[in-house]
Amino acid sequence: MKTWLKCACLILVVAVALPVTAAELDLARIEALTGLKGKLNEAEGVFKVTFPRTDIKATVTGVRMNPELGLTAWAAFTRAGDHTMVMGDIVLLESEVNPAMSVALDNGLEVTALHNHFLWDNPKVMFMHIGGMGEEEKLAGAVGKVFDKLKAMIRDKPTPPHAQIDPAQTSLDGKRIAEIVGTPGALKDGVYKIVIGRTIDMGGHKVGKEIGVNTWAAFAGSDELTVVDGDIAMLEPEVQGVLKALRAGGINIVAIHNHMTSESPRMVFLHYWGIGPTTQLARTLRAALDTQHLD
């Protein structure tokens, strides 16, 4: 009896330790939905599809880059309990970032980071990290739509927004911006700037607005055509709502990253850039702020 129990326990331990097998992921279906070929890592139970950006002819300090040097987009799928998990890194040129991000957000994926991986690269290459948890079919379909959009942009070559705006000639109505955003600002050197502080704990000390835990927005131009740029300080659960609100209003996301470590609660910072009528931009910013639980 004791021997039987020992064997049963051993079988149970081995069963728990076994990695996800190919049978638990529909590999052919994932490839069909993503439009990409993949490879299974049986030891980790991860199926990864890849998209080498052979179209990007980038150099970094004179070094000719190729996909193996970091220009390969990918999405990796694995089982997580009763669900499927996906994580990925999408390699994008600057003009491709926000259209690809909108497709990811609109189809239920999370965008978890946006940043550069190189310095002195020409053309500039950005990396958008995505994630999700849920049904395998929906996740693979969403990833497929992101890559479909990317393939279309490679073909059509979108151009970045452009506007002739000189802060020295700013004439916008700062009071109107303050009314919409709900926070007064100040005009300096042709730029109307609003700053909203947040409070966190670092090393047992409360820190806030003046040390850098803040959201800010800077407007320059006329009421008809304005540029806004800034930084939004977010708690982790707030990130996706803020992203969706900004993209819905046509404001471009420039970066998503951390500014500090070991803070509590965890803060994520989002940099943005938008061009349009002052009222439209201010309302979009207000919509993003409304998704947050501000101090």
Average pLDDT over residues 222-243: 98
Portion of the chain with pLDDT greater than 90, in percent: 89
With beta carbons less than 8 A apart as the criterion, state whether 86 and 105 touch.
no
pLDDT at position 21, please?
55
Beta bridge partners of 38: 49
Q: Give mean pLDDT, residues 135-151.
A: 98
pLDDT (tens digit per residue) in 107-134: 999 999 999 999 999 999 999 999 999 9
Contact 249, 226 (CB under 8 A): no
Determine the average pLDDT of the residues in 48-58: 98
| pLDDT the model gives residue 293 | 86
Distance, in Å, from the CA atom of 164 to the CA atom of 11, rounded to the nearest integer, reads 70
Peptide bond into 161 cis (omega under 30): no
Q: Phi/psi at 245 (nearest 5 deg)?
A: -65, -45
CA dihedral 139, 98, 184, 177 (to 10 degrees): -120
% of the chain residues with pLDDT over 70? 92
Domains 19-156 and 167-290 share a fold: yes
So what CATH class is 19-156? alpha beta
295, with CB counted inside 10 A (0-12, 13-18, 19+), is exposed
Domain boundaries, the chain: 19-156, 167-290
| Averaged pLDDT score across all residues of the chain | 93
pLDDT at 97 over 80: yes
Does 24 score more than 80 pLDDT? yes
Q: Which CATH class is domain 167-290?
A: alpha beta
